[in-house]
């Protein structure tokens, strides 16, 4: 349990009023927002790798920059695939639960 969850639980018990002196908890980003951000970062890493490859082909880039950009894009893609696999696994587990 984190402080935000504790504050929300207390707020629910008190009928919506936070205790005096307590800061208003800020809303944490939702799962969809986090996933969207990760996808945007993965897309940006992929485009950076493509840009580096194009520059190398045209003779304007260094090979080490290409390798670094491709490795970064690959790591981002593997992370997204691992999260996807875990989400699918969790969904399948939920679907197997008895009602």
pLDDT at position 29 is: 85
Domains of the chain by residue range: 29-96
Helix residue spans in 1-99 (DSSP H): 3-13, 31-57, 63-96
Average pLDDT (12-30) is 63
pTM over 0.95: no
CA atoms within 13 A on the CB side of 76: 20
Expressed in angstroms, the distance from the first to the final Cα of the chain is 27
pLDDT at position 23 is: 56
pLDDT reading at 59 higher than 60: yes
Q: What percentage of the chain carries pLDDT values higher than 70?
A: 74
């Amino acid at each position: 349990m984190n402080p935000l969850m504790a504050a929300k639980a207390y707020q629910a018990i008190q009928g919506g009023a936070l205790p005096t002196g307590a800061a208003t908890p800020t809303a944490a980003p939702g799962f969809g927002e986090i996933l969207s951000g990760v996808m945007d970062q993965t897309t940006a890493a992929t485009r950076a790798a493509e840009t580096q490859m194009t520059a190398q082909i045209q003779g304007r880039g260094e090979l080490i920059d290409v390798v670094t950009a491709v490795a970064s894009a690959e790591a981002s893609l593997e992370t997204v695939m691992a999260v996807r696999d875990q989400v699918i696994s969790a969904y399948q587990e939920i679907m197997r639960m008895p009602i």
